[in-house]
Amino acid sequence: MSENVSKESIKDLEVFKGLSDDEYVLISDICSRETFEKDAILFNEGEFGRKLYIIEEGRLICESEARQNNRIIVGQEGKGGICGWSAAVEPYIYTSTSRAVEKTKVIVIDAARMQDICHLHSNICAVFKECLLNTVVKRLADLRKYVAVVMHYSQGHMD
């Protein structure tokens, strides 16, 4: 079950810092709040992205299939983190599966409606897209560290 999100809740999110009160109202109108129990799947790799998730409480991991029946963690997010950013970027296909590792409360953003707002309000779009870009950069850095560790151990180093 989802609940409405107030403009005050949106103001508290790093992703939307610096907007006007009217802009916070626009954003709150396209958001809802949901709670996911431990091990709940928010979305699956390869699905069409319809929602973005901002974590208020709890923790999510993003996993990707490396080989059949073998998943690797490609990112993890805690309070303030964003999952599902692929829903805001063409081709709008989730690039990983997101799973709650504990009971997790999120603000859900309707991606299509966010795109509509971006087309009409360049300031909101600039703030939002900058935060998404920072999320992607962080995820790539996390993945790079993971690959470095895997390479280190695959070359026989056990230190």
Query: How much is the pLDDT for 157?
Result: 57
Average pLDDT in the 57-80 region?
Answer: 86
Query: How much is the pLDDT for 30?
Result: 96
Domain ranges of the chain: 3-153
Whole-angstrom Cα Rg for the chain: 17
Please give the mean pLDDT across all residues of the chain.
88
Look at domain 3-153 and name its CATH class. Answer: mainly beta
Q: What is the pTM of this model?
A: 0.83
Q: Is the pLDDT of residue 131 over 80?
A: no
Average pLDDT in the 67-95 region?
Answer: 87
| φ, ψ for residue 81, nearest 5 deg | -75, 160
Query: How much is the pLDDT for 158?
Result: 54
At how many degrees (to 10) do helices 111-120 and 122-154 cross? Answer: 130
Q: Which amino acid is at 9?
A: S
